[in-house]
Structure formats: C-alpha cells, structure tokens
Amino acid sequence: MKALKINEDTGDIVMENGDFVWVEKEEELMQEIRSVLKTNLMEWFLDPLHGTRYEAFRQKAVDEEEATQVIYEALEQVARVTSVIEVNVSFDRRIRLLEIDFRCVADDEIIEGSEVMDVA
C-alpha cells in the first residue's frame, strides 16, 4: 500500500519541494500502527472505533497487564496485521510515558516496532 507521509512529531502531512511525500511497504505499516496507538478511542469522529483505549493509562495506578491487553487490541485494528506475537509495556509513572515494544505478523512477515506514548 501507499499513503501520504505524516510527520511523527507534529502529525502534519510532509511535503518536500511543494510535493507530497509518500510512504509504502513497512514504513506505511508502521505509520498506520503509530496512528492507531496515538489516537484515543472515540476521538476521531469519522471512525470512533479507531484508536487505543487511553483510559486504561490515565488511572493513578496503571495496571501493566491491562495496558498490554489494550495495546494488543489496538494493534489488531490494523488490517494488515494478521496476528500479534508479543507486546511489552513499561510505564514511567513520574513522567507518564508508556514505552511499547511489539512484534506482530503483517504481510506474512514478522514486524518489530516500538513506540513511546505520552499518556498525561
């Protein structure tokens, strides 16, 4: 597949020399996964079921088992992901950051990735 490149920091569409920048293959897949992980469930009015259930991370005491399950559910939303092999989460309570490492199968290949989510 092919998609417009989204800047990871700002969420803006990337342009170079006045032209749109496109991503494809694994880079496009990782961008789609990032989109699901960084969107709060019910946040996007065009698809309220797109996203991650952030309420699980906003409790005073985050349950890492529940957080892991929430990430599994989010990754399974990505159409090209056929199975999620492993998810590891680490929560820094002091600065409210959730670090995620994952392995999944997409397009008959094992994909490994990581993401840091600000859940303040």
Count of domains observed in the chain: 1
Separation of alpha carbons 21 and 37, rounded Å: 22
What CATH number corresponds to the domain at position 71?
3.10.450.40
Encode pLDDT of 29-43 as tens digits. Answer: 999 999 999 999 999
Encode pLDDT of 69-100 as tens digits. Answer: 999 999 999 999 999 999 999 998 888 899 99
Contact 32, 23 (CB under 8 A): no
Q: How many CA atoms lie within 13 A of 79 on its CB side?
A: 2
Domain membership of residue 24 as a residue range: 2-118
Closest CA to 27 of 9, 4, 10, 44: 4
